[in-house]
Structure 1
Amino acid sequence: MPRPSGPPDAADTMVAAEVAFFTKALAGFAKSKAKFEVRSMIHDLVILDSSFNPPTLAHMRMATAALQFLRSNPLPTYRSTRLLLLLSVNNADKAPKPAAFEERLALMLAMARDTHAVLASSASEGPDAFDIDIPIDIGLTSEPYFHSKSNAIAASPFYVRPDLSPSAVPGSKITPDQLFLIGYDTLIRIFDPKYYKAPADNDDHGDGAGASAAASLPEGLAATSTPMQVALTPLMRRARLRVTTRPDSDWGDEETQRRWVAEHVDALGGPTEHWASRISLDTGGAGTGASAVSSTVAREASRAHDTARLEKLVGPAVLSWLENRSPYGES
């Protein structure tokens, strides 16, 4: 049903200001020609890359589960962990619809609020208390492929840690370890050879049709390495992948998915690399069948103004934003 007319209330003013802010931010990012930019010093950088169209409880569970895992397997640098919500404005497979990028950025901000609320509710007293002050960054990238996103983030001065620079190498820079949070379907795309081309086959028109392998080989890689090995080796040496399993008719059950990683990933990486050791699989939290939590289902519920259904799919701040703005149109 259409929203009632009348003077704007505080919520209307807030979301309008957020969209205006991100509209300006997007324009500045496009004008800068940058490959990566943070819009909002670290050892573990937890990266949730998605279209956030809209962000759902499944997205939030991926983030909070990873942060809770890091907490339960503490490192001396745990307190320097950050979460990066990353939006690509040049997606390899999806056109930017139906929600505009500035609306998705505002929804990511709402998700960040929901995530902090979840962390706060799970905090406890004492030395093992959950760190509810983990910073959450909202980032933009023009890179459509994961290895290029990782490279751009690693090169970003925002995440450089000068305090870890070896004294023997003045001016050297060390960037945080990267932990990408992805679904199993995304893992399959990362290791799909169709996304990688030899340098001679590179698409020079900038239309995003394919990713080219780097002109120079990563150290220790054979000259006979595949374009995918050349492109992904720096990513797999630098980053870890935390994969949420997604049992369904396309990918099989969880055991099938674990077996695929164990039996195929190292072979794809070649004899000098051990890519499977950089991948951990986490039991899916998106649900299956009628209980599935997905952006598609959330869009349908938002379009139908089905609040009872929507509140089971998205966090409270995201729900409030969707009800106020209705970015997916009327039913």
Structure 2
Amino acid sequence: MTTLPPVATTPEIDSLLQQKTVVAFGVSGGKDSIAGLIATHRYLNSIGFTGPRLAVHADLGSVEWDQSLFKCQEAAEKLGWEMDVTTRQAGGMMERWLSRWSNNTQRYTDLSCVQLILPWSTPSMRFCTSELKVAVIRSRLKKLYPDYNIVNATGIRREESSSRAKMPIAKHDPQTARRGFEGYQWNPIIEWSVGEVWGAIASEGLDPHEAYTRFNMSRVSCRWCIMSSGPDLYNATLDPAGHELYRQMVDLEIDSTFAFQSNKWLGDVNQTLLSSETKDRLELAKAAAARRKVLEAGIPNHLRFEKQWPTCIPSLQEASLLAEIRIEVAAGIGLN
């Protein structure tokens, strides 16, 4: 058997692994989660761990690549781990974006906010991960293992990004801890390189997800991710199975006048998949977005959202200004 690089661990993790503990590994089907599952499996074997091992896949619905769940199940079966699939009861990622937009327009109509709020998750506001993955997995683990310590592992690596470079090997997770039982998050391959990741997958005779091999993706998460590079955004459009979702996401860009990635419109990625009518609507949405930004830039800073907002009562002149801005912004998205 091929020798793998060592996993990263801490005294707290090693102590828990000698107790009544379940080790759960979050798998997406992407290379890091599959390699992390393999590395964790080998490490647990090496220390004689006898507790439950659970591979958990948080299914995000229509935004998932078709092969993702299969790759998770394939790896779990190969290693002899139990497999569990969790879903958000209110729907997947696309449903969350749509409901967020509906709620945000209602908030704007109700004067609960002075600026229109985008439907999409962002790098600084990743409710896509916190709500649809972390929260549902935590809830599932506490339900399945009420009288176990919980070690919830992931395939996060420091090499991936500057923010992940600062992440710890492990940390206490109070939201999975219960009276008498601890909860920890663990990143066992956090120090690994991408080459070591591919080596681990090959060592078990597993083929990579087709998104890498067939569509040349550099990472696998959602088909179109708020963190995706330009080439990945385009390459994802090459899979015909995702075309309906692509058009649905572009429609939400148009309806909301918010680009999927800040100033980068998903509708510009592959316009050959759009009708002439949709392309015309997209250009109108871009114009409305530009006008919205100009208008909202004129809102006085002390009236913008901050902690404990609202912090003051607008003057009559400020209220008139807000009314003028809101009327034009609302008209840009068809709100009364």
Q: What TM-score results when the alignment is normalised by the length of structure 1? A: 0.26
Q: What TM-score results when the alignment is normalised by the length of structure 2? A: 0.26
Pair member with larger Rg? 2
